[in-house]
Structure 1
Amino acid sequence: MTVDRGTAAFISLGSNIGDKRGYCQKGIDGLRAAHRTTITALSRFYRTEPVDYKDQDWFVNGVVRIDTELDPYALLDLLHTIEQAAGRERKGVRFGPRTLDMDIILYGNWVVNTPTLSIPHPRMHKRRFVLQPLCDIDPTVVHPVFLKNAQYLLEHLDDEGQKMFPCEESETVLF
């Protein structure tokens, strides 16, 4: 597998346990410290109502754009390592509470469907908490399967009841 030098990727971050802001900051710090990966943009962060499994605290969510020389599988391994360092345990209720959740939303214009990795993220087009921060960074980025840009997907989102509010400055993470 060959990767273009500096492939642009979009990573979602979220937390709904304990110091949510601090855990998101750990995710950003982990990306910043990674070799062959550079953060190029950071969205605003939002407080978001849980989706799917509702019986849990609200999340803090945002999106980071990076340039990376890592292939998507190595990038996924990096994200899992960062999550684990932040105390993430992959057990319990699916879509349940977590200290830190990091997902590859887009990786260049790649489309990957394997048992361990799906790019673009298979639910990104249904999630306001992904699309709004993605649009904060780049509303023109195109979903490589639907061939629609992020702004179009956000404007045509059917998500009645999916609540989210911008975090106040004191609640946002540092870039």
Structure 2
Amino acid sequence: MATKILNPDRAVVIALGSNLAGGHGSSEALLEEALARFPAVGLKILKRSGWWRSAAWPDPNDPEYRNGVALVEANAGPQEVLQALLDLEAEMGRDRARRNAPRTLDLDLIAYGRDVLNTPGLILPHPRAHERLFVMGPLAEIAPEWAHPVLRRTAADLAAGAQVGADARPVVP
């Protein structure tokens, strides 16, 4: 059962994804390792979703994705959090040589409280997250009442209408 976000003005939402396990045996294990490293980069996990699966895009022949979402408390501003996420991706083997290529780890800063930013390196809330079931589904799982800072629609509502990654489903253990 989802719990209320105590202070939605400060809820930091991070999406996690992987479709290459690297040396971790599975994408789920790699994502668990990424979450385990969050405290070391100043991110305290308040709540996290289960893992979801979806077909790779743009090439469905690539390995399928595992995705999830974490609500965290950050001890730094949004630019610093984004840099910490990029650094963690690199530490865990992310190769950014080709756009939309399979990847070990993809960490996206979806929202930083109710902040709305549009800078060259960071747009908040994430400009496409609301369209993606593999983001909104896991977010609705843990915080269905979370409201998009611009659209003012809940995660549950956005998940119900998401068209990108419409095949996304929770991983059944």
TM (norm. structure 1) is 0.85
Q: Give the letter for the 1:163 counterpart.
A: D
Q: 2:92 aligns with which of 82, 86, 90?
A: 86
Q: Give the letter for the 1:14 counterpart.
A: G
1:137 aligns with 2:147: no
1:28 aligns with 2:38: no
Q: 1:15 aligns with which of 18, 41, 58?
A: 18
The CA distance in 1 between the partners of 2:89 and 2:162, in whole Å, is 29
The CA distance in 1 between the partners of 2:143 and 2:158, in whole Å, is 13
The CA distance in 1 between the partners of 2:97 and 2:151, in whole Å, is 32
| 1:148 Cα offset (Å) | 1.0
Partner of 1:117: 122
Does 122-131 or 51-60 show the bigger shift? 51-60
For the residue of structure 1 that corresponds to 2:11, the secondary structure is strand
Identity, in percent, stands at: 34
Partner of 1:95: 100
Partner of 2:57: 51
Partner of 2:109: 104
The CA distance in 1 between the partners of 2:169 and 2:158, in whole Å, is 19
For the residue of structure 2 that corresponds to 1:80, the secondary structure is helix
| 1:113 Cα offset (Å) | 1.1
Partner of 1:168: 172
The CA distance in 1 between the partners of 2:131 and 2:169, in whole Å, is 17
Tell me the number of residue pairs that the alignment of Structure 1 and Structure 2 aligns.
Answer: 161
Cα distance per residue 1:1-37 (max 9 Å; x no partner): xxxxx932010000001221122112101213223x3
The answer (yes or no) to whether the contact 1:12–1:102 under 8 Å persists in 2 is yes
The answer (yes or no) to whether the contact 1:7–1:69 under 8 Å persists in 2 is no
Partner of 2:5: none
Q: 2:47 aligns with which of 17, 31, 41?
A: 41
For the residue of structure 2 that corresponds to 1:168, the secondary structure is coil
For the residue of structure 1 that corresponds to 2:88, the secondary structure is helix
Q: CA RMSD in A?
A: 1.7
TM (norm. structure 2) is 0.86
Partner of 2:151: 146
